[in-house]
Structure 1
Amino acid sequence: MPADKPPVPSVWTRPRATRERPALSRERIVAEAVRLLDEEGAEALNMRNLGTRLGAGATSLYRHVAGKDELIELVVDEAYGEVRVPEADPPGDWRGALAEGARSLRAMILRHPWIAPMLGQAGLATLGPNLMRQSERMITLFRAAGFPPGEADQAMNTLIAYVIGMATSEAAYLSMLARSGRTEQEWAESLRPVVEQAMRDHPRLREAHAAQHGGDPERVREEGFGYGLERVLDGLQARLGPAGGSAG
């Protein structure tokens, strides 16, 4: 690397501090940062707030985490450690294993709604050990299905993009509900007259809305996610041809 060019800024591209204080470590900092985010949201995340919660000065934190950008990389990878991508069971059921992994990713995002807007700020988070582990397991499933190396990566990214897109919208909606203090059912009922009025001149929308009216909103969300997931997997499976061989 030329001397006049700075190193790529990422927590994963610099050495860890070798002298750890027993009371403070990167792992403890990250765990507390996740708790702060879960309890108070992304707006509350800064080194001063985190230091207060840890009973340490912000300068002590900087020995382990260079700043907020690195902290975001670390908390994103920590949350991804909750995602479970199973092996195919039975061995040929790559589709079932990928669906389970996709649902696990969605569940993680809904547990930690702060992660959705952070994904665009996460720098080289894909180099984190948990994200690398998840990607390795997922791409192994696509390779076992018959996708060649380059396309297996594209197929994996397509599936992940669907999950993140759907779950990001859900997470924003659930965060709004939490701030309102209402349940999903209460929110839906309070909006019903306004929605029906807005759809008055849109018969196809009225028809679609009527088909779902009265259903449990959480179940409707689950079914909507499941429908899209199956269609994405249908499209990927179609690339393998009728015999399930290599994509061409």
Structure 2
Amino acid sequence: MARDTLTADRIIRAAIGLLDREGMDGLNMRSLAQQLGSAATAVYWHIKTKDDLVRLAGDAIWHEVELPDLDATDWRTAATAHAGGMHAMLTRHPWLVQAFGSHLLHGPGQARHNDLGLAIYEKAGFTADDADRAAATVFTYVLGSALGPAAQVSLNRRLSKNGANAEQLMADAMTRATETARQFPRLRERLDTPAATEYAAAPDNTFAFGLQCLLDGFEARLTADRTGPRG
């Protein structure tokens, strides 16, 4: 592909695919150029650095998250849909979780979601400062919930690239972890329940449970603010 047939958008889309397959460690301009059928210098003509590429790719995938219509729904429904959409996006693209800790990420895709988060919690009745705190709390929860699956993907990829049998290594580690866990009464009881499949597995609907607990807390705080004594 000649340089003048490349566009920044095509490069970004190719980078997202490469990041999904190979993770942050697998992204380099040479591999990306080969995938595009171009020279690395042609890629640099459109996007100057790898850091710029990660920032642009990271912002592009925020557009996958559908924005709830605040005029057509209540704040809790909107908050649940917004957080769930973010969590699903981060699960599809686990490299973005890692990028938050290693790159300066910003852009219109992420900004539109930040703006919506403020609008959701302002609609709920929070002051501007508390809406900012509520939105940040939910985002931190979403990001933390996506961290475990992202780390698992990264670990499996690293073990496989080192020529190891990733599945066997993980199975052996899980066996040892389970043996250790059985030394503690509450963990042992949990492992002996029919629903427990392995030590590290979270129960079903854990993300939804935690999110609704957060929103319950927000609602209780708003109710207390409305009904509490006035000084």
Which 5+ residue runs of structure 1 have no aligned equivalent? 1-20
Match of 1:205 among 187, 199, 202: 187
Q: Does 1:223 align with 2:202?
A: no
Q: Does 1:107 align with 2:92?
A: no
The aligned residue for residue 129 of structure 1 is 108
The aligned residue for residue 48 of structure 2 is 66
**Counterparts of 1:238 and 1:133, CA distance in 2:** 27
The aligned residue for residue 10 of structure 1 is none
**Counterparts of 2:180 and 2:221, CA distance in 1:** 41
The aligned residue for residue 160 of structure 1 is 139
RMSD: 3.0
TM-score, length of structure 1 as denominator length = 0.76
The aligned residue for residue 241 of structure 1 is 223
Question: Match for 1:76: what amino acid?
Answer: G
Give the deviation of 1:244 after TM superposition.
Answer: 6.3
Give 4+ residue runs of structure 1 displaced > 6 Å after superposition. none
**Counterparts of 2:194 and 2:61, CA distance in 1:** 33
Q: Does 1:169 align with 2:151?
A: no
Between Structure 1 and Structure 2, which shows a larger proportion of helix residues?
2
Change beyond 3 A, Cα 1:220–1:140:
same
SS in 2 for 1:151: helix
Percent identity reads 35
The aligned residue for residue 141 of structure 1 is 120
The aligned residue for residue 46 of structure 1 is 28
Q: Does 1:31 align with 2:10?
A: no
Q: In the alignment, is the contact (CA less than 8 A) between 1:146 and 1:244 conserved in 2?
A: no
**Counterparts of 1:47 and 1:71, CA distance in 2:** 9
Which 5+ residue runs of structure 2 have no aligned equivalent? none
**Counterparts of 2:181 and 2:225, CA distance in 1:** 45
Q: In the alignment, is the contact (CA less than 8 A) between 2:191 and 2:197 conserved in 1?
A: no
Give the deviation of 1:141 after TM superposition.
Answer: 0.9
**Count, aligned residues:** 219
Q: Does 1:94 align with 2:75?
A: yes
Q: In the alignment, is the contact (CA less than 8 A) between 1:33 and 1:45 conserved in 2?
A: yes
Q: In the alignment, is the contact (CA less than 8 A) between 1:80 and 1:108 conserved in 2?
A: yes
Question: Match for 1:138: what amino acid?
Answer: G
Give the deviation of 1:239 after TM superposition.
Answer: 2.2
SS in 2 for 1:81: helix
TM-score, length of structure 2 as denominator length = 0.81
